[in-house]
Structure 1
C-alpha cells in the first residue's frame, strides 16, 4: 500500500471535515519527520553493534611508506614495509593516516584537498603520484588488506599536524610550499615563521574560523563517500593546539568549543549518511588528551560529544598523561563508548639511557599491563611501525603478558611537550610526573612521595617473579645511602639498598640504588614510594627516576 500526503480540503467541506483532513495531513507530516529519526536510531544501533567488536591492538600507521620507504609503485611494496606481517597478530584494527603532515596534504586520491606528490629535494623518492597513476590508492590497498585478513581499517586524520612549521629540517619548508590551502589563506594560520605564536607551530590552522572547519569537513565527507572505511579517526593529539586563542596562550572560548562541536556533528551526519547508503556504519573516534578539563581548555568539549552520541570510541594518551587510566575508563563507561589508550614513544630530553629504557619492549609490556588492569577495551600503538616487533603478538593478551618480564616507571612521558610547546597542562595533572626532565628536590627531614602503578596481580601469579625497585638520585655521596635517605614502599621501610653498577653512570652524579622487594609488598594498581632525606643529607640531592623491574625465571620471557 502506497501512502500519499492528503490533498488540502475542497471548498464547501464542513469545518469538522476540514479539521479531520488537516489532522491527517499533520499526522503524515509527523510520520515523515519521524522516519529520519527512526533511520538515525537504526544507524545508531548498528554503530553500537559494530563498536562491540574486539580490538585488542590498534596499529596507527602514519602513512609514510609512499613518500619515504617504497622502491617501486606496487600494492605489495606498500604493504611489505609495515602491514603484511600483521596478519595473524593481535592487531584487530589499522588506523591509516594518508600523510596529513599539514592539513590538506594526503596520499589518497582526494579532489577536495591536495595529493602530496612533490618530488622536490628531500622528497625525490616520493611515489605517491606513481601509485595513483597506476590506479593504486594507498587507502584502498589498506582497506583491501583489512578485508582479506578480517582487520578493520579506519582512516585517520591528523587535525592540526604542524611538521611543516619546522624550519630546522628541509622537509618543513618543502611541505609547506606544497600546501596551496595554507598558501592561499595565511589568515587561517597561527602566524609565520618570522612571527610565530606563543604556543604551537606557526603553520597550524585556526579552527575558530569557519573556512577551516568547512574545508576539514569536506575532506572527511569525501573519504566517507568514496572509501569503504570502517571508521574515521579525528586525531586531535597531533597536535593539540587547535585555536588561535590557545596559540596566543589563552584558554579556548565557548565559541571555539561550539564551533568544534558543530564540526563533529556535521561529521557524524555525513558518516551516518554514507553508512546508510552502503548498508554498513562508519564509526567515529577521536584521539584526545585524558582530561575533560584540559580538553575544554584547548577547545574540545569531550563530555558533550560523548553525551550526545558524536563519538563511538575514543583513544586517550599521547605524549603526556594527566590522570590515572581508570579516569578515562570510567568516563567512557558512563556514556557507553569504547576506550583505547595509546602507548607512545617517550620523548624525555635528558639522559638518553632513561629514554631508551622507556621505549623498550619491557617498558611497553608494563604500560600495556597497566592499561589492561585499568579496564581499557584495547591498546593503541602510536609511532610503532616494525611489523616484526614481538609486541604485536604480546600486548593484546593480558594473560600472556602476566607471564612475561616487564618494566614499570612512575612516569613514562612526564609532562611531555605540553610543558614547553603546547597549552600548559601542569594544573590539570593528577598523576606522578617523576622523570629526568623533572626531578624532585629532596628536603632534609622531609618525606617526598611518588606513586607508580603495577598491572600485575602477584597474588594470582602461578610463578613468582623477582621484583627489584630501582631509584635514581643526583648529588648523593658515594657512601652508604642509609646515612642519607630512608625508603618506604607502601608504608614498609626497606632495608639498605645497593648501588646498581650496571645502570649507574660514573661520568655524572646520577646514581641508581636498587632494592630487591618481595612481590607481596606490591599491590595491583597504585603503589607509594616515599624518600626521607636525613637531616645530615646533602641539600642539593634530587630524586630523578623510579623503575620497578619484574623478572620471571629464565623459561618465562
Structure 2
C-alpha cells in the first residue's frame, strides 16, 4: 500500500477485471484491522466485567431477554478524505455454527474504551445509535463472513464515508441480535492472533473506470496466489479451499432464476426499467442469489462472438446506448447491492422446436431462436423441422431441435459458449441447467436410457468446465462456483446420461439445484439432499411457478382442485416441505412478481411458521404430460391411483411442520374420487387411524383432523373400496388429496 503524507492513496489488493468490451477495470480494496473490539454482556455475572481482552466475542440473546453485544472501532484517519469509497463491509471470522441475524448500528455519539467498557458502563453512557441494516451469519466455524446485504451495505457505506470525510466522529459500530427464541454466535477478536482467526476488519472498496463504479467486491473474498504457482497448486491450497468453502456455504435463502426473457417481456426503456420488471423489487426480500439467464443455449442476448446474438427487446439498444449488455447490467446491480450473481446456461433449450405450439412459443419466436449454429449444422440436431408438425408437444420427439451431445463438436461448442461468459464477466458462479430441457442423447426421445460411454462423455464435459472455471477464478483471485440443475433422483439423472454422484465424488460441482420444479407439492427431494450433504455440497430444490399458477402446466393438468394451489398457502406448503427435507434453500423459477409475498416468506422456516398452508399431492396425466417433462420424471408418488376392491391402496402426503393444536383453527384433509363413490363404501385411514367423514362439497370429501393425526414428514393415506351393490363397477380412482392448515 502506498502512503503519501500519511494518507492511503494506493491499495493492498488490485484485481484486473475485464468487461466483454475488453476495457480494463481496477478494483482497489483496503482491509483495516480493528483497533478496538469488546463484548459487553448483560448477564448478571458479567454486567460489570470488562471483556475487551478476550480472544472471542459473542453476540447473543439469553432466554430471559438479556443480551451480549459487540463494539467495534477502526482507525480510518489514514484514508484520503477525497478517496471515493464505493462500498464498505465488515469482515468477521465465525467461531461456531450460525443461527442469528446481526443488526448493525452506527454510533453517532457515545465514546468507549475496550479496556474498561462493560454492559453497565455502556448503559450509563449518553449515546445516539442509528440502525444501518442487518446481515444473517452463514457458514461453518472458520468461515469468513463479510457483512454485506441489500439492507446494510448502502447505509454502512454512507456512514463510513462520513468518518473518512470528517463529517461524523468515529465512535465505531455496535452489533446486536434481538430474538425471543434466544441463541447466538461467537467471532474471533483481535486478541486471538492465530490464523485463520483473523481480527474484525473493515473492508473498503473503490472500483473505478472513468469515475463509474462497476465491480464493488467487498462481499467476495479473494485469495491472490504467489507468482509462478500453478492453478492446481492454488486450488489445492488450504487458503483457497477455505475461501471456496466459505463461498460455497454462504446463505442462500432464495435463489432466483430470472428465466431471461425480461429483456423483451415487456421491452424495457431503460436499465432501471429492465431491473424493475423482476429484480430490483426484491432488494428487501429473502432473495440472496440471482441466477441470470441470458439465452437459449446457442442463441443469446448478451454480447457474444461464439453464439448467435439475438436482438430482441432492448438487447442491442443497451449495448449501444449504455455500453453494457443485459448480463452486465444485472451483474452491476448485484455488486452494488451485495447479491450473489451466477450466469445460468441452459444446456439444451428447445423453445425453437415449438413452431406449432403457441402455449410454449410463438412460431415467430421459435424461428428467431433457431440459431445460426443449428442452421449450419442440421445433422447435429435430434430431428427435422417437420417434426414440429408430425409430433404433438406431448411426445418427446417434439424436441427435434435439441443438440445431440453424442457428437464431440456439439460438446466442444457448448464448452466455448460457457467459457466465453466465464472469462468475459466477473461472475460469482455458473449454473449448468440440465433440466431445461432434459434431453442430451437420441435414446431419450424413445424413452430409453443413456449408455455408460455417453455418461462418461458428459462427465468429461463437466470436468473440463470445472477446470476452466478454476483457471478463471485463480486468474482473478477468487473462486468461481459451479452449480448444476439436475433431476430429483439419481436414477432419473443417470437415465439422461448425467452421473451426478460421480460429479460430486470428483468435486466437479459446488451447488446442487434439485429438479425442474414441475411437480412441487410432494417432490421426492430427500435422496438428493442426503447425497449432496454426503459430499459437503448444499442443495436447493426448485419450485416452478408455471406448475402453480397454470394448473399443472407440465403434467397435463392439475386434476380436481378444491383449494387454490396457486395461493400463498400452497406456496408455503411446498416450501415448508423443502425446509423439512434439510435442504439449504429454495430455488424459484418463472416467478415474475417481485411484490408477491412468496419472496418474503419462503426463504426461512421461521417466517413460514404459524401461517396458513396447503399441502397436496401432485397430479400427473402421463398421456397429456409435455414431452419435455417426461424424461426426468420419477416413477411414483403421483395421483391418480386406482382403488382396489376390499384391499387398501396407499400414497404418502408430505407435511413439512409439526402442527400444534393450541393455535390451530382448522385442519381438514380433503379427498376427491373420479367417480361418484358413496362414502359408506370407503374406508380411509391416515397413519393407521380410521377417519370419520365430515363435510362434502363439489365432489370432495372432507375429514376434520386433530393435530395428533398429522406427523411432520410423510403421512400415509390408505383407501379401501367396498363397492356398492351394482352390476356396473366403473374403475374408481383417488385423484385429489389436499390438506388445509389454518391457524388463529
Same fold judged by TM-score > 0.5?
A: yes
Q: Secondary structure at the match of 2:592?
A: coil
CA contact (8 A) 2:557 2:619 kept: no
Structure 1 residues 121-169: Cα deviation after superposition (integer angstroms, max 9, x where no partner): xxxxx22111111213111111111112211111001111101101123
Alignment match, 2:648: 447
Distance 1:210 1:44, change over 3 A: farther
Structure 1 residues 440-476: Cα deviation after superposition (integer angstroms, max 9, x where no partner): 22222121211110001125x7623421000011212
Alignment equivalent of 1:141, drawn from 309, 317, 329: 329
Alignment equivalent of 1:497, drawn from 694, 699, 704: 694
Alignment match, 1:203: 401
Alignment match, 1:17: none
Distance 1:359 1:323, change over 3 A: closer
Q: Secondary structure at the match of 1:187?
A: helix
Structure number having the greater helix percentage: 1
Q: Does 1:433 align with 2:638?
A: yes
**Matches of 1:289 and 1:91, distance apart in 2:** 23
**Matches of 2:242 and 2:557, distance apart in 1:** 49
Alignment match, 2:354: 166
Q: Secondary structure at the match of 1:488?
A: strand
**Matches of 2:283 and 2:675, distance apart in 1:** 50
CA contact (8 A) 1:112 1:218 kept: yes
Bigger Cα displacement from structure 2, 182-191 vs 128-137 = 128-137
Alignment equivalent of 2:316, drawn from 129, 146, 155: 129
Structure 1 residues 486-515: Cα deviation after superposition (integer angstroms, max 9, x where no partner): 111111111123212xxx1xxxxxx11101
Q: Secondary structure at the match of 2:663?
A: coil
Alignment match, 2:703: 515
CA contact (8 A) 1:164 1:175 kept: yes
Distance 1:137 1:192, change over 3 A: same
Q: Does 1:317 align with 2:524?
A: no
Alignment equivalent of 2:344, drawn from 149, 156, 163: 156
Alignment equivalent of 1:467, drawn from 647, 653, 667: 667
**Matches of 1:249 and 1:520, distance apart in 2:** 43
Count matched residues: 493
Alignment match, 2:618: 411
Structure 1 residues 366-418: Cα deviation after superposition (integer angstroms, max 9, x where no partner): 01001101100000001111101110000012012011111001226677987
Q: Does 1:116 align with 2:310?
A: yes
Structure number having the greater strand percentage: 2
> TM-score under structure 2 normalisation?
0.63
Alignment match, 1:549: 740
Alpha-carbon RMSD across the aligned residues, in angstroms, is 2.5
Alignment match, 1:278: 476
Higher RCO (CA-CA < 8 Å; seq separation 6+): 1
After the TM superposition, which residues 378-397 of structure 1 pair with which residues of structure 2 at under 5 Å, given as runs?
Answer: 378-397=585-604
Q: Secondary structure at the match of 1:274?
A: helix
Distance 1:215 1:81, change over 3 A: same
Alignment match, 2:235: 40
Q: Does 1:106 align with 2:309?
A: no
Alignment equivalent of 1:232, drawn from 430, 444, 448: 430
Alignment match, 2:578: 371
Q: Secondary structure at the match of 2:719?
A: strand
Distance 1:352 1:452, change over 3 A: closer
Alignment equivalent of 1:193, drawn from 385, 388, 395: 385
Bigger Cα displacement from structure 2, 255-264 vs 181-190 = 255-264
| Uncovered stretches (5+) of structure 1, i.e. residues with no partner | 1-31, 119-125, 505-510
**Matches of 2:479 and 2:431, distance apart in 1:** 14
Q: Does 1:291 align with 2:483?
A: no
Structure 1 residues 151-201: Cα deviation after superposition (integer angstroms, max 9, x where no partner): 111100111110110112373454435510000000110011224687340
| Uncovered stretches (5+) of structure 2, i.e. residues with no partner | 1-226, 548-552
Alignment equivalent of 1:359, drawn from 551, 566, 573: 566
Q: Secondary structure at the match of 2:236?
A: helix
Alignment match, 1:488: 685
**Matches of 2:672 and 2:396, distance apart in 1:** 32
**Matches of 2:694 and 2:458, distance apart in 1:** 53
Distance 1:542 1:175, change over 3 A: closer
Alignment match, 1:57: 254
Deviation at 1:33, TM superposition (A): 11
> TM-score under structure 1 normalisation?
0.83
Q: Secondary structure at the match of 2:672?
A: strand
Alignment equivalent of 1:265, drawn from 463, 469, 484: 463
Q: Secondary structure at the match of 2:264?
A: helix
Distance 1:413 1:373, change over 3 A: farther
**Matches of 2:562 and 2:475, distance apart in 1:** 48
Bigger Cα displacement from structure 2, 352-361 vs 54-63 = 352-361
**Matches of 2:441 and 2:366, distance apart in 1:** 21
**Matches of 2:596 and 2:523, distance apart in 1:** 29
Alignment match, 1:335: 535
**Matches of 2:664 and 2:567, distance apart in 1:** 23
CA contact (8 A) 2:558 2:619 kept: no
After the TM superposition, which residues 72-83 of structure 1 pair with which residues of structure 2 at under 5 Å, given as runs?
Answer: 72=269, 74-83=270-279
Distance 1:147 1:424, change over 3 A: closer
Structure 1 residues 323-342: Cα deviation after superposition (integer angstroms, max 9, x where no partner): 63221111011111110000
CA contact (8 A) 2:515 2:542 kept: yes
Alignment equivalent of 2:264, drawn from 60, 67, 70: 67
Alignment match, 2:421: 223
Deviation at 1:53, TM superposition (A): 0.4
Alignment match, 2:130: none
Q: Secondary structure at the match of 1:65?
A: helix
